Chain A
Amino acid sequence: DAGVTQSPTHLIKTRGQQVTLRCSPKSGHDTVSWYQQALGQGPQFIFQYYEEEERQRGNFPDRFSGHQFPNYSSELNVNALLLGDSALYLCASSFEGLVVGYTFGSGTRLTVV
């Protein structure tokens, strides 16, 4: 049974560019949440997608956007990249947003130069 899969694992981008990160949830899960984890800090909630809609959003600018597809997979898009966007981006999946069974992927390490 596959867990949460994220791609790519590492990425280097230049300031001002745009990036798309991808997440496939664990089998049986229908909710995807995205987090940003800067070095030495705890994960920060970006947003959660359920039934292809953004259900709740954290304190992130509109440069951060997302999408959920009918197969429950999700994308995180970041426009106009800043050096401060360099971080580990984590995806977590769950069933109907329930916390029980919350499962994280291994993350995408984004470096902005």
Chain B
Amino acid sequence: GIQVEQSPPDLILQEGANSTLRCNFSDSVNNLQWFHQNPWGQLINLFYIPSGTKQNGRLSATTVATERYSLLYISSSQTTDSGVYFCAAINTGGFKTIFGAGTRLFVKA
């Protein structure tokens, strides 16, 4: 089955700093998503990005499917960006979503 690995596992930023989170995935996938889980446990879908680049405000994501990785960029970080960021993938032809272990981000004021 597919495996999803995220790095770094933990990240502490000063407010205003930029950061890059990485997700490596094995085998072929036809879907790649990024989620943010807030301290209350709610998972919010940030990007559906099987390939290419997308931007939404201070967040952007790039997936290079041929090289099996995706990057999430956070610019001008804010304290409300704190939480856990997950990438998740579904194997081609299947319906099982595999989540990475997450990157725990803490943004200091």
CB distance from B5 to the nearest CB of A (A): 11
Interface 9-residue window, one of B35-43, B53-61, B72-80:
B35-43
A45 and B100 contact, Cβ closer than 8 Å, known pairs A99-B48, A102-B33, A106-B42:
no
- Name the residue of chain B whose CB is nearest to the CB of A33: B97
Q: Is the interface of B mostly helix, strand, loop or mixed?
A: strand
Q: Which residues of B contact A65 (CB under 8 A)?
A: none
- Interface pair A43/B45, CB less than 8 Å apart: no
Q: Which residues of A contact B97 (CB under 8 A)?
A: 33, 35, 45, 99
Please tell me if B11 contacts chain A, counting CB pairs below 8 Å.
Answer: no
When chains A and B are docked, how far (Å) is the Cα of A58 from the Cα of B94? 11
Q: Count residues of A near B (Cβ-Cβ below 8 Å).
A: 26
- Interface pair A100/B48, CB less than 8 Å apart: yes
When chains A and B are docked, how far (Å) is the Cα of A107 from the Cα of B48? 21
Q: Residue B40 contacts which of A42, A50, A102, A106 (CB distance < 8 angstroms)?
A: A106
Indicate with 1 or 0, residue by residue over A45-78, a CB within 8 angstroms of chain B CB atoms: 1001010000110100000000000000000000
When chains A and B are docked, how far (Å) is the Cα of A50 from the Cα of B101? 27
In this complex, the interface size class of chain B, counting residues with CB under 8 Å from chain A, is 20 to 34
Indicate with 1 or 0, residue by residue over A72-106, a CB within 8 angstroms of chain B CB atoms: 00000000000000001010100001011111101
Q: Which residues of A contact B101 (CB under 8 A)?
A: 41-42
Indicate with 1 or 0, residue by residue over A9-47, a CB within 8 angstroms of chain B CB atoms: 000000000000000000000000101010001111100
A106 and B45 contact, Cβ closer than 8 Å, known pairs A42-B102, A58-B96:
no
Some 26 contacts from A to B, beta carbons below 8 A apart, are A35-B97, A41-B102, A42-B99, A42-B100, A42-B102, A43-B99, A44-B99, A45-B99, A50-B95, A55-B95, A56-B94, A56-B95, A90-B43, A92-B43, A99-B90, A99-B97, A102-B45, A103-B45, A104-B35, A104-B42, A104-B44, A104-B45, A106-B40, A106-B42, A107-B41, A107-B42
Nearest 9 pairs of A and B residues by beta carbon: A42-B99, A104-B43, A99-B31, A56-B95, A43-B99, A48-B95, A45-B96, A100-B48, A42-B101
